[in-house]
């Protein structure tokens, strides 16, 4: 039976005494390695766009994954990005995979960068969506601090945080919201402990590793890298995507107009074309 985002079962793998939840489906008859997706702040496996996950799964396997303590995974949530990256590497290896492509969105993009730097043998290609580097520009919109940690995010919070300001962007956001709630057995929401641990991890990610050469660490990422953002990201300022593109030697940068933090959710068909072209090159 071939699965899609609605039917792929939630599976579990034990690593270091905790059970990590994942879903894996797609085309395993291609020369493309599996693509593992690392999610945003407090997000779980049902916070992805089905157009994106099923579309990518046509050409490779996709693996959605919850880090330690997040949503349906057990354990104490990690409070450092590098530890989250090491957990992801341990799960990839436990699944018997020697090479993957990695897509990280927002906080998941922080993890994806550290995963690639700390475990370069595992990563063939890297995709960084709505994210920024260590030591990047932290100047988010003041409203983010109120909306992002709200115990139960509303659709209006999502529209404000992830989508552009126009009426067309708002409409695209409402359509995304409907798509991502199609699955009946949704992942449970993340705990308050996850929110606290991830805020702490974010704070430790923000300082410049080297004040004289803040992005020197990015030059260690040799993999082909795809960077996407909207022109007005109020969460992680769009200029951070430029900093990454300037300093990761083999990076290409995409900026979508009238879009924000979740450009891939606002323009999923466009994103899918760009992503498939990049992964297939």
How many domains does the chain fold into? 1
Whether residue 232 contacts residue 202, with contact meaning beta carbons closer than 8 Å, is answered with no
For 90-146, write each residue's pLDDT tens digit.
999 999 999 999 999 999 999 999 999 999 999 999 999 999 999 999 999 999 988
Please tell me whether residue 203 adopts helix, strand or coil conformation: helix
Residue 147 included in any domain: yes
Residue 235 included in any domain: yes
Residue 63's contacts (CB-CB under 8 Å, 6 or more residues apart) are 22, 23, 24, 34, 35, 36, 37, 95, 100
CA distance 21 to 19: 6
Mean pLDDT of all residues belonging to the chain: 96
Residue 6 included in any domain: no
For 211-263, write each residue's pLDDT tens digit.
999 999 999 999 999 999 999 999 999 999 999 999 999 999 999 999 999 99
Residue 223 included in any domain: yes
Model pLDDT, residue 2: 84
Model pLDDT, residue 1: 63
Whether residue 98 contacts residue 91, with contact meaning beta carbons closer than 8 Å, is answered with no
Residue 42 has pLDDT above 80, yes or no: yes
CA distance 46 to 156: 18
Residue 221 included in any domain: yes
Residue 101 included in any domain: yes
Q: How many Cβ atoms sit within 10 Å of the Cβ of residue 191?
A: 14
**Domain of 222, in residue numbers:** 11-280
Residue 46 included in any domain: yes
In the Cβ-directed half-sphere of 269, how many Cα atoms lie within 13 Å?
2
Q: In the chain, what percentage of residues exceed pLDDT 70?
A: 100
CATH code, domain with 80:
3.40.50.1820
Please tell me whether residue 25 adopts helix, strand or coil conformation: strand
Average pLDDT over residues 177-187: 96
Give the global pTM.
0.98
φ, ψ for residue 115, nearest 5 deg: -60, -45
Residue 178 included in any domain: yes
């Amino acid at each position: 039976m071939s699965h899609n985002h609605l039917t792929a079962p939630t599976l579990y793998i034990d690593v270091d005494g905790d059970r990590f939840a994942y879903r894996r489906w797609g085309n395993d008859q291609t020369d493309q390695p599996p693509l593992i997706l690392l999610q945003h702040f407090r997000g779980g496996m049902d916070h992805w766009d089905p157009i994106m996950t099923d579309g990518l799964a046509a050409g490779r396997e996709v693996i959605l994954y919850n880090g330690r303590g997040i949503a349906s995974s057990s354990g104490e949530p990690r409070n450092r990005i590098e530890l989250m990256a090491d957990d992801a590497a341990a799960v990839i290896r436990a699944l018997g995979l020697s090479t993957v492509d990695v897509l990280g969105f927002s906080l998941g993009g922080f993890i994806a960068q550290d995963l690639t730097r700390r475990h370069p043998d595992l990563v063939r290609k890297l995709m960084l969506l709505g994210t920024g580097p260590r030591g990047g520009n932290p100047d988010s919109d003041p409203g983010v601090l109120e909306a992002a940690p709200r115990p139960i995010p509303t659709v209006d919070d999502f529209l404000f945080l992830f989508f552009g300001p126009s009426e067309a962007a708002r409409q695209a956001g409402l359509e995304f919201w409907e798509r991502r709630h199609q699955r009946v057995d949704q992942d449970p929401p993340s705990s308050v402990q996850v929110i606290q641990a991830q805020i702490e991890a974010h704070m430790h990610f923000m300082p410049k590793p080297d004040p004289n050469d803040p992005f020197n660490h990015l030059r260690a990422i040799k993999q082909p890298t795809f960077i996407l953002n909207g022109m007005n990201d109020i969460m992680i300022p769009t200029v951070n995507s430029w900093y990454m593109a300037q300093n990761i030697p083999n990076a290409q940068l995409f900026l979508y107009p009238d879009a924000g933090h979740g450009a891939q959710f606002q323009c999923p068909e466009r994103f899918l074309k760009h992503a498939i072209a990049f992964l297939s090159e």
